[in-house]
Amino acid sequence: MKKNILIIGGYGLAGRQIAKLLLHANPELNIVLAGRNLQKAEKEAEQINRASATHNVSALQLDAKDKTALKKAFDQTDFIVNAASIIEQTSIIVEAVLESGKDYLDTQLSSPNKLGILFQNADQFLEKDICYVTDGGFHPGLPAALIRYSALQMDEIQKGNVFGALKIKLADTGVSRSTQLEFVDELKHYNTSVYKEGAWKKQSFTETYQFDFGEPFGSAKCLPMFMEEMKVLVEQLPDIKETGFYMAGFNKILDNWLMPIIFLGISIVPKNWAWPFVNLFLWGSKFTKPPYGVKIVSECSGTKNNQPVKLRIEITNSDEYLLTAAPVVACLLQLLDGNIRQPGLWFQGNLVEPTRFLTDIQKMGVKCVIFPNQVQTEALNL
């Protein structure tokens, strides 16, 4: 029996990539692209069907503010993927998910407001046998999975840090206004905590870390950035003594001159008045120079056969939306075949089986390279 997958925001920059990769991985799926603009959804569905020589992709007009419409759509599908910037509708979506009893995965930013609602309903997901996966994509979504993969290669993992470089001109990506508002919310609640010496410690905004990303980005200053999946990771790997995620800046003008103004501005004005600071950020991103792309690097250390061992993993792609979609689809494939499905609230990076996860995203066009003992001349492909 064919499974039906509903993608909210299916004609968006990430949603369309998820649909294409998912259909390529499993041509037997029926995929519905949903959103407020039916014409855009129909056009995208037609393009994907034509490119893949199939009729399995269809369109649906859906407003996430309408719980009745959500419930009706959810009842007619087997799995829901939310690739839309609609964090403000989290409560309505959660109610519809609970009433329909269907499994769900979102690619939204790790907003404290979103997570607060999800934590409040975590027991209900468990009771109703719903697998609710949040924080899908690469940022968050990849860091915990990379460290968990490294832990499998060791008898004991002691340290695992992940570094991210996002070198793009955001103003040129066509990112929607709703996504921009979600980004404001993330900056407003920016948390610099990292796990060291058995405790989470908040770092100063002036306490940056120099990290060498290798080709093509080289060395860059990075600022700690707390992710909820890393907190869960510490529970999954009780032997680990240090872990955290660190994000590199965009360019010197934006990082050194504009970001202090932006952080101050969004901290004191209401969210709906933050547009001048959003526009300032977008304008500042234009000073980012090539090479463009995204790189996520994990560096882990521990012991194997009573000997010290290190492992470096590099994930690289020039398209940030493909790098969002590929991990989501890799997670979905494991969920749909039942290998990792468990009722309750989960973070993508903590739920996936990491070896298959990394293998699958590489099959989808994401470069994934492992450096045993960090000796780059002995790089191994998965």
Q: Considering only the top CATH level, what class is 143-318+367-381?
A: alpha beta
Give the residue among 335, 269, 295 at the shortest CA–CA distance from 213.
295
Distance (Å, whole) CA 32 – CA 14: 15
Intervals of CATH 3.30.360.10 along the chain:
143-318+367-381
Stronger pLDDT, 70 or 180, i.e. the higher one:
70
The amino acid at residue 57 is V
Chain position carrying tokens 């194997």: 304
Give the residue among 138, 150, 133 at the shortest CA–CA distance from 332.
133
Distance (Å, whole) CA 58 – CA 44: 9
Structure tokens given for 91: 């409560």
Q: pLDDT (tens digit, 9 = 90+) per residue, 60-82?
A: 999 999 999 999 999 999 999 99
Mean per-residue pLDDT for 13-40? 96
Q: What is the pLDDT of residue 180?
A: 63
Chain position carrying tokens 């309505």: 92
Intervals of CATH 3.40.50.720 along the chain:
4-134
Q: What is the pLDDT of residue 380?
A: 35
Using an 8 Å Cβ cutoff, are 285 and 255 in contact?
no
Distance (Å, whole) CA 361 – CA 30: 21
According to DSSP H, which parts of 76-166 are helical?
90-100, 112-120, 122-127, 143-152
Superfamily (CATH H level) for 4-134: NAD(P)-binding Rossmann-like Domain (3.40.50.720)
User: Residue 376: which pLDDT band, with cuts at 50, 70 and 90?
Assistant: very low
Q: pLDDT (tens digit, 9 = 90+) per residue, 299-350?
A: 999 999 999 999 999 999 999 999 999 999 999 999 999 999 999 999 999 9
Distance (Å, whole) CA 273 – CA 256: 23
Structural element, H or E, at residue 280: helix 275-285
DSSP state of 76: T
Distance (Å, whole) CA 333 – CA 22: 8
Q: pLDDT (tens digit, 9 = 90+) per residue, 87-127?
A: 889 999 999 999 999 999 999 888 888 999 999 999 999 99
Q: What is the pTM of this model?
A: 0.94
Distance (Å, whole) CA 339 – CA 353: 8
Q: What is the pLDDT of residue 34?
A: 98
Q: Is the pLDDT of residue 140 over 50?
A: yes
User: Residue 184: which pLDDT band, with cuts at 50, 70 and 90?
Assistant: low
Pairing state of beta strands 4-8 and 79-82? parallel
Distance (Å, whole) CA 245 – CA 139: 10
Q: pLDDT (tens digit, 9 = 90+) per residue, 199-222?
A: 999 998 888 899 999 999 999 999
Using an 8 Å Cβ cutoff, are 171 and 285 in contact?
yes
Using an 8 Å Cβ cutoff, are 347 and 140 in contact?
yes
The amino acid at residue 224 is P
Percent of the chain with pLDDT over 90: 76
Distance (Å) of CA 235 to CA 132, 224, 347? 19, 20, 13
Q: Is the pLDDT of residue 176 over 70?
A: no
**Please, what is the average pLDDT of the chain?**
92
> Residue 301: exposed, middle, or buried by beta-carbon count in 10 A (0-12, 13-18, 19+)?
buried
With a CB cutoff of 8 Å and minimum separation 6, the contacts of 382 are: 358, 359, 362, 368, 369, 370
Q: What is the pLDDT of residue 294?
A: 96
